[in-house]
Amino acid sequence: TRNMFLQSSRHIVGVCARKTIVQASCGSISHLAQNKVINSSTIPYLLFTIEKRSYSTTSSLHKKRSDKPKVTEDTTNEENNSFIKEDEDDVSDKNQQQKSSDVVDKQTKGDESDEKVKVVEAEIAGNGGNESENETDSALVSREAYFPEDVMVLPLKLRPVLPETGSPVLVTDEHLLSIIQNNFNRGKKYLGLFYVKEEFRSEKKTVTDISQIYQTGTLGQVIDLRRDVAGHAFVHVFGLRRIVAESALPNRPVLTVKSKQIKSVMPERARNEYVKAYVFEILKGLSDLIKNQPLQREFLIYLRQNMDENPSRTADFAAACTTAPGDEIQEIIECLDVEKRLASSLLLLKKELELSNFQKQVAKQIEEKVTKQQRQYMLQEQLKLIKKELGLETDEKEQLLTRFRDLLAASNPPDHARKVIDEEINKLSSLEASSSEYNVTRNYLEWLTGLPWSTVSTDNLDLDNVEKTLDHDHYGLDDVKDRIKEFIAVGTLLGKIHGKIICFVGPPGVGKTSIGKSIARAIGRKFFRFSVGGMNDVAEIKGHRRTYIGAMPGKIIQCLKTVQTSNPVILIDEIDKLAKGYSGDPASALLEVLDPEQNSSFRDNYLDVNYDLSKILFLCTANTLDTIPKPLLDRMEIITISGYVNEEKISIASQYLIPEAIKQSGLYPAQITIEQGALESLIRWYCREAGVRSLKQQIEKIVRKVSYKIVKKTIKKVTIDQSNLEEYVGKPLFKSDRFYDVLPAGVTMGLAWTSMGGATLYIESVGLPTKEGKGSLQTTGQMGDIMKESSVVCYTFAKKFLFEIDPNNHFFDLHDIHLHIPEGATPKDGPSAGVTMVTSLISLALNKLCESNIAMTGEISLTGKVLKIGGVR
């Protein structure tokens, strides 16, 4: 009696303790899978193994007690001893869990009765039983074991749960979660695991109808409920068997269905060989998969043990081991034919194997690449060490310091710069190569030792050579050439050429930039050009502070390091197009650079050392002076380069543009001839500009077409004249400027200056009788504010002048005057049209015609004085 009592007590304690350990173990496995400590595909095997092994001992002992009611004392002792030993092993396992002893004590005190233990054993026996091949072919199974018909639905939106597998299910519906939690606390642990149809899988959509789920699912048992660190709720379930949802039950807080069990359809005995072949092929695929995923090795061992007795379970486990999408797993669940299910699972396994092999291949390639780089690095370090030991190579840092010292000796900087360089070299010698400041100091020394502190080029002071060079490169530009020759003459008397700041102002295409190159070549200096058009950052001129990442000196210091001389010719292009932004005003930064009194001690922000720029010849170019700040304009000597007249353009084209275009095209001069008449038509009707840039483009166009014809062997020699000019350059771009052969009364021709050169324009005025007896003036033609004010002045003076010459003429009092300037799309401004407007108004009032071949310009004052004009050659 004592032995039987001890045996029963220990049995109850063991079952309760194992139940607690199962729940704790399942929660731990899910936590490890979420943190990627173990592979998620091993969860089905681990959960099933824990469930089955935890109850195996209890079931076996219960069976022993029922089969052997009469036992001898030795047998009982032996059984008790084995049970005690087993319990001791369980206790040792439980001691490794936190507070497990408290759980066992609590459960031992009466939370689980002996009758409940028997019910649990019966449930496990029913749920864990294998599906026998001797069962009938019917899809429905009779209720031989305990099975709830009414099951609450747990919607699965990510992936279905197969029978005999476990998985954590994310539950976002707090209402559903609370009901599951309450049922779990009351011992109701069964759920219907049904996969949600695709159109209802959104996280925001709640499953409330049976039409939203697939009818075939899995009966599941709740193992545990947990929340992760982020607060997401997970229900850990274990699939038991397939079920089909027949109908939804009404008046339930959540979706609950009436379900029936379904069983797998085993193949005929004649097909057993095919089934075994599928099973072994699946096993082979799993073996290959495990080579790439060693964490699944235990699962393969378990599969080997259960493969022969239950191929249905083998198919389910194989599908569960893959990462196939949920729809394909649902097809496995719905497939009741075991042979077809094995074939489908094998197909999914093969796809998984291909993906695993590809991942392994990619990982191998990356590993080989990393290993190769590491090996090369190790060999290089060993080679450096060997060369250093043999004296064939010194340390990289020592080489760098030696190079800096050599550059310092060669550049011969002034004392203040030499002191800074010596300090930086000493600082570099004490820094480790891995230090972040090491590279900053090294770059700083690269710039300091790379500048031409005392290197200057020898100037060519031969005036004849300078004049010959300038005449060879440019036609005309006598003002510029004379200024350069004067500059050279002063340098000849002094024995050296001082730095100057000269600004060339003129329309585009007149040779402002090219004249700078010619000046540098004439006096034998290096040439450097950079454009400041659109520049809005002061750091482009004065450099960045060294505290910034990627800091570097400004354009001036970069130029000096490039040309390696302290007296180059620097051309600052487009100085009239400087911008002003949030990073400062570059025009203000240029004040120090272009001031002869200050640039002898120019300090770049990056170098932080004074540098002498007084030996540099600065040349600037601009299209207009209006946008150049006055303080900057005062520091420059202005040389205006006006546009070329037609005779000059013809000479430039004949002497420079045509020979250069022929040379660049690969033709011989004898193969093409462009007559002067063709050039005159080209300049007049195609290239109306102050410069010759457009003329150069048209000549190159002609030469290209001639080259094409010669290559096609249609011609051997071409002469371009007025008759065939349109064949090569197309229709004329400009027509005659004369709108009128004879000017009517009130129309006069004026002259206008533009940045492209000059143009003629008409001013038209008409008078309309007024009804109020008081005349007025209206102006159109997109006039600017200055021109509008000038028109008012002209109207007042015209009325005064008309009264003086003809007191009886009351035309302006009796008529409203409308004054218009044609080409209204073109903005016009300036006071220079004053004389033309007055003449137009007087011509209208007196009804007298103006000469058709006379044009006029000039600003007029209120008393009739004409001011000085500009822009005339």
Whether the Cβ atoms of residue 493 and residue 487 lie closer than 8 Å to each other: no
Whether the Cβ atoms of residue 578 and residue 535 lie closer than 8 Å to each other: yes
**H helices then E strands: how many in the chain?**
29, 20
For residue 557, give both structure tokens: 């210091």
Q: List pLDDT tens digits, range 725-764.
A: 989 998 888 776 667 778 899 999 888 776 555 678 889 9
> Collapsing DSSP states into helix, strand and coil, what is residue 746?
coil
> How far is Cα of residue 240 from the mean position of the Cα atoms in its chain?
51
**End-to-end Cα distance, the chain:** 137
DSSP, residue by residue, 562-586: HHT-SS-EEEEE-GGG---BTTB-H
The Cα-based distances of 202 to 230, 253, 683 in angstroms read 20, 21, 73
Query: Residue written as tokens 């350059």?
Result: 729
Which residue stretches of the chain have pLDDT < 70?
A: 1-146, 269-270, 293-309, 391-395, 736-738, 754-758, 773, 870-873
Q: How far, in Å, CA of 646 to CA of 663, rounded?
A: 24
Round the CA-based radius of gyration of the chain to a whole number and report it: 50
Q: How far, in Å, CA of 241 to CA of 161, rounded?
A: 10
Whether the Cβ atoms of residue 490 and residue 421 lie closer than 8 Å to each other: no
For residue 679, give both structure tokens: 């050039």
Q: How far, in Å, CA of 549 to CA of 443, rounded?
A: 12
Q: How far, in Å, CA of 184 to CA of 223, rounded?
A: 9
Whether the Cβ atoms of residue 192 and residue 261 lie closer than 8 Å to each other: no
pLDDT value of position 96: 37
- Please choose, from the candidates 30, 304, 329, the residue with its C-alpha nearest in 3D space to the C-alpha of residue 156: 329
Angle among Cα 395, 396, 400 to the nearest 5 degrees reads 120
pLDDT value of position 194: 92
Q: How far, in Å, CA of 513 to CA of 521, rounded?
A: 13
Whether the Cβ atoms of residue 587 and residue 580 lie closer than 8 Å to each other: yes
- Please choose, from the candidates 843, 823, 812, the residue with its C-alpha nearest in 3D space to the C-alpha of residue 748: 843
Any bridge partners for residue 697, and if so which? none
* b/e burial code for range 556-571 (CB count within 10 A of at least 16 → b): bbbbbeebebbbbbbb
Whether the Cβ atoms of residue 153 and residue 254 lie closer than 8 Å to each other: yes
The Cα-based distances of 55 to 17, 61, 90, 299, 805 in angstroms read 11, 10, 12, 19, 131
Q: Residue 32: left (phi > 0), alpha (psi -120 to 50), or beta? A: alpha
Q: How far, in Å, CA of 571 to CA of 519, rounded?
A: 11
Q: How far, in Å, CA of 324 to CA of 356, rounded?
A: 13
pLDDT value of position 206: 79
Q: Count CB-CB contacts under 10 A for residue 757.
A: 20
Consecutive H or E run containing 288: helix 272-292
User: What are the phi and psi torsion angles at 807 (to 5°)?
Assistant: -60, -25
Q: List pLDDT tens digits, range 430-471.
A: 888 888 888 899 999 999 999 999 889 888 888 888 888 888
pLDDT value of position 294: 62
Instruction: With both helix axes pointing from N to C terminus, report the angle between 2-34 and 73-95 in degrees, rounded to the nearest 10.
Output: 30
Check the CA dihedral 659-661-665-671 and report its sign.
negative
Please, which residues have CB within 8 angstroms of residue 772's CB and are 6 or more apart in sequence? none
Query: Residue written as tokens 């006055």?
Result: 630
For residue 740, give both structure tokens: 């009128």
